[in-house]
Amino acid sequence: MRIVDVQIAGRAYPIFIGRGARRQIADELRRLGGVETVAIIADQTVADLHLPKLLEAFPKPPVQLFVQPGEASKSLDAAARLYDGLAEARLGRKDVIVTFGGGVACDLGGFVAATWLRGVRFIQVATSLEASIDASVGGKTAVNHSTAKNLIGVFHQPSAVIVDLDFLGSLPEREIQAGLAESVKQAAVRDAEFFAWHEANVSAILGRSPDALMHLISRNCQIKAEIVARDEREENLRAILNHGHTIGHALEHLLHYELRHGECVALGMLVENELAVARGLLPRGVAERVQTLLHRLGLRTCLPRELATEDVLAACRLDKKNRAGAIHCVLLSAIGAPQVVGGVADAEIVAALAVVAPK
């Protein structure tokens, strides 16, 4: 097992990665101290597959609350139903919530933990690749607003994160591929060597070689941990993690969350790279390198036909990163060299969308 520490002053926490990592739960509850009641907030599909295995790791049976899979559960209504369950269980200030699932369980469960009694401690048990390398780490919790993704949220760091590779084995291929998009993004903004590692290990990654998965998850967690420790509240450095997300979040919303988050981030990276190429910031060869890698990892590399350019622009205008109404994107000038660019013009986005549109 590997342990990556997120070194936020006063609120440091471990990420446990490995087969059987769930067995850390009892130790973590003991370490936290004063815990009388634990409530699990579990994705229903994940619970159907794996809950008995997780429950074996608890010193005494936790309260169990369930959420339906899918982005529609990241809502204030779903949060309200969970608050009802916590009230019934009388979950108190010193008690703990354990989230169990992918990005939706992490974001929604984290949001509920952040707001119940003005914040109780929580442990993220991530079961998708995307959640293991991104959504479970970093403390951003959120639900969606009808106009855009993640508009309602709170920063609230978990007390521990558990990535048990036993839970990842049953993931459908599409889920793995969607998670890989976030991994490519993280490498593209922070670690050129890690990007090249992806290129050299596509078969091992897609074949879910235990060594490859362990390296992929650990390195991503190290990158995320380092960035979050330096800039928890996204005042500067952390913004680079939003590469591909201005366009990606717009696509997710417009496509009614029918494409996975990672699939939209992959398309977002391609569009934002075209924008950077058009500005003379990024060499065409680097944009092609990213596109080739995403394609080899099984991700789609052209936009869905049904998208209207005007709608994409309107959705981009609602992005959280915008300042004074101007659209912001994180653009690359090389692998490992991102920069936040403000005042992106509509015409630039229209031109970049056209390059990634289906021919």
Catalytic residues: 118, 140, 182, 224, 234, 238, 242, 245, 249, 261
Helix 173-190 to helix 192-200 angle, to the nearest 10 degrees? 150
Which of 278, 340 has the CB closer to ligand GLY? Answer: 340
Q: Which pair of structure tokens corresponds to residue 125?
A: 């048990």
Q: How far is CA 267 from the centre of its chain?
A: 16
**Shortest spacing between CB 108 and ligand GLY, in angstroms:** 11
Whole-number minimum distance, CB 100 to ligand GLY, in Å? 15
- Cβ atoms of 123 and 25 closer than 8 Å: yes
How far is residue 188's CA from residue 99's CA, in Å, rounded to a whole number?
29
For strand 148-155 and strand 140-145, is the pairing parallel, antiparallel, or unpaired? antiparallel
Q: What are phi and psi of 82, to 5 degrees?
A: -70, -40
- Closer to ligand GLY by Cβ: residue 78 or 135: 135
Q: For ligand GLY, how many residues bind (rule: CB under 6 A)?
A: 4
Give which of 66, 218, 190 is closest to 129, Cα–Cα. 218
For ligand GLY, the closer CB: 116 or 122 = 122
Distance between CA 146 and CA 302 in Å, rounded? 26
**Residues 109-148, mask of contacts with ligand GLY (x by CB under 6 A):** --------------------------x--xxx--------
Q: What is the DSSP letter of 74?
A: S
- Among 37, 5, 149, 168, which Cα is nearest to 101's? 168
User: Min. distance of Cβ 157 from ligand GLY in angstroms?
Assistant: 8
The owner of tokens 């920069």 is 339
Nearest Cα neighbor of 331 from 283, 263, 293 is 283
Smallest separation, CB 357 to ligand GLY (Å): 30
- Our CB check for ligand GLY shows the closer of 101 and 286 to be 101
Sheet holding 2-6, edge to edge: 2-6, 13-18, 160-164, 121-126, 96-101, 38-43, 63-67
Strands 337-344 and 327-334, sheet pairing: antiparallel
CB-based contacts of 329, cutoff 8 Å, min separation 6 = 246, 247, 272, 275, 340, 341, 344
CB of 140 to ligand GLY, least distance (A): 3
- Of the pair 40, 133, the CB lying nearest ligand GLY is at 133
The nearer residue to ligand GLY, 140 or 198, going by C-beta atoms, is: 140
SS3 13: strand
**Residue 136: enclosing H or E segment and its boundaries?**
none
Q: Under the rule (CB under 6 A), what is the footprint of ligand GLY? A: 135, 138-140
